[in-house]
Amino acid sequence: MDSVEKLVPLLGRVLLALVFVLGGYGKIWAMDATIAQMASHDIPMPNVLVYGVIALELGGGLALMLGLFTRWLGVIFAFYLLILALTFHDYWAMPAAESHAQRVAFLEHLAMMGGMFYVFAYGAGAYSLDALFGRTQSAAATARA
């Protein structure tokens, strides 16, 4: 495996995860605003679920950056992104003035989902904790396990 094939998955993981790490960190310092936003979208128990969101975004994002439990995180984040897109960016139900920006955000979430599917399918790569710990089986083997 040449150096590009080793380095590119690391770069991709870090860039995908950066959105979540920064978002999770920001939610710690703006918890009331996050709770209010969740409540405005009819999320049940936002004052409890906000801690799960922070744990997933910050903890899961850092684990993804490091390449730990990468395939599982790819699936979890893909599902999370789908929920976020459908819940917070329902551009089809908005006035025309708001719909363009929300459609762009919706499509950005779908694009990140695509990246997470790649993470699931191809794993963390050579420069990862998964590789260090010998957790680099193929997606087919993961599905069979």
Q: What is the pLDDT of residues 77-92, one digit of tens each?
A: 999 999 999 999 999 8
pLDDT 10s digits, 42-79: 999 999 999 999 999 999 999 999 999 999 999 999 99
- Based on its alpha-carbon atoms, the radius of gyration of the chain, rounded to whole angstroms, reads 17
Q: Is 49 helix (H, G, I), strand (E, B) or coil?
A: helix
Average pLDDT, the chain: 92
Domain span holding position 66? 3-144
Q: What does the angle CA 125 – CA 131 – CA 128 come to, to the nearest 5 degrees?
A: 60
pLDDT-based confidence at residue 98 (cuts at 50, 70, 90):
confident
Which pTM does this prediction carry? 0.89
Q: Is the pLDDT of residue 36 over 60?
A: yes
Domains in the chain: how many in total?
1
Q: How far is residue 13's CA from residue 16's CA, in Å, rounded to a whole number?
A: 5
